[in-house]
Amino acid sequence: MRLLLISNSTNPGEAYLEYPKHQISEFLGDKTVNALFIPYAAVTFSFDEYEEKVNSRFAEIGHHVTSIHRYINPLEAVGNADAIVVGGGNTWQLVKMLQEKGLMKAIRKKVKKGTPYIGWSAGSNIACPTLRTTNDMPIVEPLKFKTLKLVPFQINPHYLDENPANHGGETREMRINEFIEVNRETYVVGLREGTMLLLEDGDLVLIGNRRARIFRYGEEPRELSSEDDFTFLL
């Protein structure tokens, strides 16, 4: 499998997909790719707008996307895809639509056979076994929580260490500790913004200048950098 799992699309003060675009270009290669784009996580803007927004960035690196909503037969579109790109937004809506359209198994099968997969935020979250480490509000109810299970661990995108002043609610770490308390065999990767995970040739590496925070029940959280080995997660 070849996976590029990105924490977030946009860093403060940057244009959309600015920081990951060169890594996306390297991941897709020199030959122009017309990737299948899945915009289902969009809620407050249209799929047409989402496709245009992503295309404007991909064009800068010599690639192109076509949104799945333009195809009469979405399953056929997945089967014919040269690459699959899943955008961020609301993970619950993304999962619900993929399940209702019967696309989860088709995408998993296609990617398992070697089709490159790129996701950011919600698109990274669904590469995991379930959506249960998303940060998103459950604005809709999917059929189940199971997702693509392209990797055996969970990702928490946009991972934050900060606890705002005068905030009485749980920190991100506290919520993840709740998850590992009842899912004791599962690793969770707190993927900070500006970073991504690359799975290629059986190797898993972190890309970016910030560390990832690794959680597992009964263990102290670990801070790992791009120089560390992440293959133990597999």
The residues carrying an active-site annotation are: 121, 136, 158
First to last CA, the chain: 12
Q: How many residues comprise the chain? A: 234
**Plot region of 114 (φ>0 → left; ψ -120 to 50 → alpha; else → beta):** left
The 3-state DSSP class for residue 176 equals helix
User: C-alpha distances in angstroms, 174 versus 75, 127, 153, 188?
Assistant: 39, 23, 18, 13
Closest CA to 10 of 88, 117, 126, 84: 88
**CA gap 90, 122 in Å, rounded:** 6
- The residues with which 156 forms a beta bridge, in sequence order, are 190
Closest CA to 62 of 34, 104, 42: 34
